[in-house]
Amino acid sequence: MLILLVEDDPSQLEPLRAALLKVGHTVDAIADGETAQWFAFRKDYDLLILDWMLPKVSGVELCQVYRRAGKLAPVLMLTAKDTVLDKVIGLDAGADDYLVKPVDVLELLARVRALGRRSPMWQGDILSLGDLQLHLSNLTLELGSLTTQLSSREFQLMEYLMRHPRQVLSHSQIEQALWSCGEEPESNAVTTLVRRLRQRLQTIGVKDWIETVHRMGYRINPPNL
């Protein structure tokens, strides 16, 4: 998933970012609420992880603004505040879940998995599009009895396409979804990645699903769906 992680304490921000990257997510790690708000309205995030107490704009305020704008991505709030009233305030602001500091990394990853799999397309750790199944547990694509192993980046692209069936996704959108803030992909990175993914799909009998839309981008266009 493409995740916006906002935490002003570097000793907590970097370990959480590293843990999320290790399991295959793309993470924009930001240290203040004002900058995070700018990013939140310029990228299509799958999940926001917000510290309650942030410089300039608090996590609660950011969540409220985000929801008022009609943004629907799940929000996980991190905070040292653990009273019932504090939890009510956070949830009423639009948060979907609440994790009390100090954060246990394993619990955080479990909460992230749960929030990220709320889409009806997901069943457990499997994303389905027609008969095609993408397995999070081992980064494989499966069609009937055939399977193919994906690299981490190929998996990220396949998940992004499958989450947006028949939607044209530009090079810029794909770069933002797959590369974190500060990373600079090579100019032909998306084109190369799409070619490699098409080759993987062909090995399991999936042909011509990824369509090139001239001067616009790519879309996954499964037949009979």
Pair type for strands 126-129 and 26-30 = unpaired
pLDDT of 224 reads 66
Q: Mean of the pLDDT values across residues 150-178? A: 88
Q: Say if CB 99 and CB 108 are below 8 A apart.
A: yes
pLDDT of 117 reads 66
192 pLDDT tier (thresholds 50, 70, 90)? very high
Which residues contact residue 199 at a Cβ distance below 8 angstroms, ignoring those fewer than 6 apart? none
pLDDT of 217 reads 92
Q: Mean of the pLDDT values across residues 179-193? A: 85
Check pLDDT > 80 for residue 64: yes
Q: Mean of the pLDDT values across residues 209-221? A: 91
Spatial distance between the Cα atoms of 110 and 99, rounded to a whole number of angstroms: 11
Q: Say if CB 180 and CB 162 are below 8 A apart.
A: no
Bond before 102 cis per omega within 30 degrees: yes
Per residue in 124-144, pLDDT (tens digit) is 678 888 889 998 878 899 998
Buried residues in 149-180 as b, exposed as e (16+ CB within 10 A): ebeebbbbbbbbbbbeeeeebebebbebbbbb
Check pLDDT > 90 for residue 42: no
Q: Mean of the pLDDT values across residues 35-49? A: 89
Per residue in 84-93, pLDDT (tens digit) is 777 777 777 8
pLDDT of 180 reads 78
Question: Cα 80 from chain centroid?
Answer: 25
pLDDT of 30 reads 93
What is the percentage of the chain residues whose pLDDT exceeds 90? 38
Which residues contact residue 12 at a Cβ distance below 8 angstroms, ignoring those fewer than 6 apart? 101, 102, 103
pLDDT of 114 reads 82
Check pLDDT > 70 for residue 122: no
The 3-state DSSP class for residue 82 equals coil
Spatial distance between the Cα atoms of 88 and 92, rounded to a whole number of angstroms: 6
Q: Mean of the pLDDT values across residues 49-73? A: 89
Sign of CA pseudo-dihedral 43, 49, 55, 61: positive
